[in-house]
Structure 1
Amino acid sequence: MNTSTESPPVSMQLFYGAGGIANGILSNGLSFFLLIYYNLVIGLPAETVGFALFIALMFDAVSDPVVGYLSDNTRSRAGKRHPFIYAAIIPVALLFWLIWNPPAALTSETQLFWFLLITTILLRTAMTLFDVPHNAMVPELTKDYGGRTMLSGLKVSVTWIAGQVMVIAMYVIWLVPTDTMPYGILNQAGYQEAGLVGAILIALAITVTALGTRKWQNRMLDISHVATYSISGFFRQFLAAFKLPALLAIFVSSAVFAVGAGIGAALWTYLTSFFWELNNDQIALILMANLIGALIAGVTLKPIARSGDKKSSAIYLSILSAIVGVAPYVLRKIGFFPANGTELLIWLLFVHGILQIILIVWTTSLLTSMTADVVELGISQNGFQNEGIITSVITFVLKAGTAGGLAISGMFLAYVGFPEAPDQSNLTPEVTRALGWNYACLSLFIYMASIVALMFYRLDKAQFDQLQAIHD
């Protein structure tokens, strides 16, 4: 391999991190608004929406490693990663626009279900063409232990920043309440206009990161096994990768963590609007706190990247993230949190939003970097330089956070008895209390499960350095 052992230069970090803009807009668009859009605006039952997105996730489980395998074994003048990224630009943008614009001719629940299902599968497959090869660049662009956290962490931070900016824009531009529509989140035209803008920005972001990283594409040419396209070759390399205990541990832990984050994103609008009873201006303020948190996490990433033990840091940060995440709901349950409508409540939620996003971004950055480190273990044990298959774990868990979170959230809303058309007659205090408390319990359980799985990850810096010395 000819990958540099030096820290990645700033220009590399910026061009690589730009890909996070596409991830943020697409992920937050689907996580925050797709359930509410198809449930409360289009009229599909929440559990039906969740089921459609869960099925789409199952297709992702297949497409991610397949695309990773194909990019691992591709040789072309444009390299082995970039051809797939170029191919994703138009389909991802077009399908992101389409998912917010179901044809008017589709009127029955069955028709809308199939439209949502097929469009989501195609959108996620198209995004896989970009995201899997893009993530596979990390272990190829740098061998530096902390440098990989900087690269992957910057993408995670940009993903959160872009996603929060888009969500803020939704509330202050496209979903503003009017006299005729007191709940702005029911404005179908707003979602459709935002879908168009989002599609354009996604296409631009993928184009920028693709063209910007071409300078280093010579680092992505080495293939330490005979390149092949065959079903047997795929299964041989796939099974070899997933026989690595470290990869299985990070896969389970990251997937569970991402589902927890996805549930939080999917239910965020329900919680802010109905549990905390915030108006649009107050919601925008909390979203601004999330944006500030992502910015702080991004500029303070270097100490996290230089931590001597990624696993221990990820465990401690996951525990803090779980505690901070459920604290307001637990305190409200026992009567130690300000009442709705008070100024103190708003500012406590503001501070909470900053802290929670900082912890999530730091933790996700470490988990992503730890996945990239498994590549060295795979080369040592299997002889395969299959970054695409191994780092497909990253794309899978991110999409699992969106789709899995949405699927569970749909069932969760049905479980707590949340009405499909909430108004003063059916949105009782009992329902809103059940919404907040059960969300806290579910989140805590999920994050604790993620931490338990992470304890089985076995690859520290000393072993990493030893593997690098062997490969060199």
Structure 2
Amino acid sequence: MRVDSKTKFFYGMGFISVGIKDILYAVFVFFYFSQILGLDQIYTGTATLIALLFDAVSDPIIGTISDNYKSKKYGRRHPFMAISAIPLGVSTYLLFKPFDDLGQFELFLWMTFFSILIRFFLSLFLVPGMSLGAELSSDYDERTVITSYRIMFATLISPFVSFFGLIYFFVPENGMSTGLLNIDAYPKFAMFCALIMISTILLSVYGTKHTIPELPKMHKKESLKSLFKNIITASKMKSFKSLVLFTMMIYIALGIGNSLITYFLSFFFELNQNEIAIIIFSGAIGGVISLFAAPKIGEKFDKKTGVIISTFLFGLFMSSPFNLRILGLFPENGTPFLIVTYFLFTTIAYIFLWTSMSLVNSMMADVVDEYESITNQRHEGLFFSTMSFAYKLTVGLGYFFAGILLKLISFPTQTEIENIPSEIISKLGLIGGPLLMIIYFLSIFFILKYPINKQRYLEIRKKIK
């Protein structure tokens, strides 16, 4: 089935919700609970880790149920995507609306409970949604285009949402150094985000429902008891293992970096909230450019080599502002060239990150076909639930490690920048530069063993047919 641009557009639109969730956790959640409410960093990281343990069970189950769900009218994916919308929005709002006068442990329980709900309802959309993307086309190169639409929407809209929030919701009051200290802004902004998440998911479901009759069907219905057997079979595939391990390694570093981005920009580079809002747009620009770059790089170098090149360049450019500052070669804080230079480096980094992720998700769709050639069964839900879990697990581990790292460098909570010792702020640079760069580069070793190229894929498709 060839997929027209309108269908790709509506398909990608649903993943705006994923981008908004990511920007909330990257910029607002960690800062809100730690710096505004005073929750200990270990608690904030642990809350995310506990939510991930729940994901470890729920994601594969959602994938398997979706794989085996039968409805001639609504298909295997769309019912789950549709019912996720409203509960996801409500949970997102309530995360930022804790009861007054909660103690440390009660705040921890609140963050844990609603993080679990947000991740569960996001999985209810994300796992079937990613599986749908693999089913829309069997063309080797078009699959990269489809995943590029998904990643573009996930990265394009959320910076605009964040920018709008920082300008119109997070207004400094009573001599605040930044509007992020305005506690009353968080629930209002969360409601704004929730409404966008609900509407974009429902529009995506509506805009892709015409594809249902042409989507692949399950050859033979299986029970949840077969889940472990299928996972074991998949784990023996070299192609599957290399993609999952690569994804886990890259997202551990991203989880650390994303959860500390507000700290990096506010304390290490001393940017104000308007400048931070501008920097966030680098990810959006990178996502748009990667929509065109990923298919071209995949065609020119093949997918595996494209991932290796893109990941290396991403790690190099993303860590360079920190590494160059440590070497005394980066513009000083407060100078006109600082934000321009930082924005340029991060935009280039994001182009290659999103290119790499587009190619990896396209490669996983190819792995699903390889699995079918071995077992005569299609399990997009199972495979992409594993990718979803690997993503959420390692990002969550990144949040957890970020809390530990802040604790190790004795970074204070509820403190203005002028009251933080310079040696502590310098240690933030060591995290953002050398530490994360090493993890980014280490991820490349896992993708080296991936065995499927275009020729091998054509052989797999011939065997399936």
TM-score when scaled to structure 2?
A: 0.96
Code of the aligned partner of 2:274: D
Provide, for residues 112-164 of structure 1, a one-character-per-residue CA deviation record: whole Å limited to 9, x for no partner.
11111111112111111111001001221100111111111111111011221
Q: How many residues align?
A: 464
Code of the aligned partner of 1:289: S
Map of 1:254 onto structure 2:
247
Provide, for residues 52-86 of structure 1, a one-character-per-residue CA deviation record: whole Å limited to 9, x for no partner.
10111121122111111101111013111111112
Contact 1:27 1:402 in 2 (8 A): no
Please state if 1:229 is matched with 2:212. no
Map of 2:316 onto structure 1:
323
Equivalent residue of 2:378, what SS? coil
- What is the correspondence of 1:68-467 to structure 2 with a 5 Å cutoff? 68-76=63-71, 77-104=73-100, 107-224=102-219, 226-230=220-224, 232-423=225-416, 426-467=419-460
Q: Return 274-283 or 204-213, whichever deviates more.
A: 274-283
Provide, for residues 362-413 of structure 1, a one-character-per-residue CA deviation record: whole Å limited to 9, x for no partner.
1111111111111011011222211100111332233235422211111111
Q: 2 CA distance for matches of 1:162 and 1:305? A: 25
TM-score when scaled to structure 1?
A: 0.95
> Offset of 1:288 from its aligned partner?
3.1
Code of the aligned partner of 1:263: I
> Offset of 1:263 from its aligned partner?
1.8
Code of the aligned partner of 1:348: T
Contact 1:325 1:356 in 2 (8 A): yes
> Offset of 1:296 from its aligned partner?
2.2
Code of the aligned partner of 1:415: L
Q: 2 CA distance for matches of 1:290 and 1:83? A: 31
Contact 1:55 1:117 in 2 (8 A): yes
Q: 1 CA distance for matches of 2:391 and 2:444? A: 17
Map of 1:16 onto structure 2:
11
Provide, for residues 12-66 of structure 1, a one-character-per-residue CA deviation record: whole Å limited to 9, x for no partner.
2111111121111112112222111110112111111001101111211221111
Equivalent residue of 1:188, what SS? coil
Q: 2 CA distance for matches of 1:439 and 1:346? A: 16
Equivalent residue of 2:15, what SS? helix
Q: Return 350-359 or 397-406, whichever deviates more.
A: 397-406
Q: 1 CA distance for matches of 2:300 and 2:58? A: 34
Contact 2:13 2:204 in 1 (8 A): yes
Contact 1:15 1:213 in 2 (8 A): yes
Please state if 1:30 is matched with 2:30. no
Provide, for residues 206-259 of structure 1, a one-character-per-residue CA deviation record: whole Å limited to 9, x for no partner.
1011111111012335112x21333x2222222222222211110010121122
| Shift >4 Å, 4+ stretches | none
Equivalent residue of 2:172, what SS? coil
Q: Return 180-189 or 137-146, whichever deviates more.
A: 180-189
Q: 1 CA distance for matches of 2:390 and 2:152? A: 16
Contact 1:84 1:130 in 2 (8 A): yes
RMSD of aligned Cα (Å): 1.6
Give the direction of change, closer, same or farther, for the CA distance of 1:201–1:425 in structure 2 (3 Å limit).
closer
Equivalent residue of 1:283, what SS? helix
Q: 2 CA distance for matches of 1:293 and 1:83? A: 32
Q: Return 357-366 or 198-207, whichever deviates more.
A: 357-366
Code of the aligned partner of 1:421: Q
Code of the aligned partner of 2:60: P
Q: 2 CA distance for matches of 1:13 and 1:306? A: 19
Q: Return 393-402 or 168-177, whichever deviates more.
A: 393-402
Give the direction of change, closer, same or farther, for the CA distance of 1:178–1:352 in structure 2 (3 Å limit).
farther
Contact 1:176 1:280 in 2 (8 A): no
Contact 1:68 1:389 in 2 (8 A): yes
- Structure 1 unaligned segments of length 5 or more: list them: none
Equivalent residue of 1:306, what SS? helix
Map of 1:65 onto structure 2:
60
Contact 1:149 1:369 in 2 (8 A): yes
> Offset of 1:308 from its aligned partner?
4.7
Q: 1 CA distance for matches of 2:283 and 2:379? A: 35
Contact 1:80 1:221 in 2 (8 A): no
Q: 1 CA distance for matches of 2:342 and 2:317? A: 11
Q: 2 CA distance for matches of 1:407 and 1:200? A: 28
Q: 2 CA distance for matches of 1:270 and 1:314? A: 29
Q: 2 CA distance for matches of 1:280 and 1:125? A: 31
Q: 2 CA distance for matches of 1:27 and 1:371? A: 22
Q: 1 CA distance for matches of 2:250 and 2:118? A: 23
Code of the aligned partner of 1:162: I
Give the direction of change, closer, same or farther, for the CA distance of 1:288–1:397 in structure 2 (3 Å limit).
same
Contact 2:372 2:378 in 1 (8 A): yes
Q: 2 CA distance for matches of 1:471 and 1:229? A: 23
Please state if 1:47 is matched with 2:47. no
Map of 1:468 onto structure 2:
461
> Offset of 1:425 from its aligned partner?
5.9
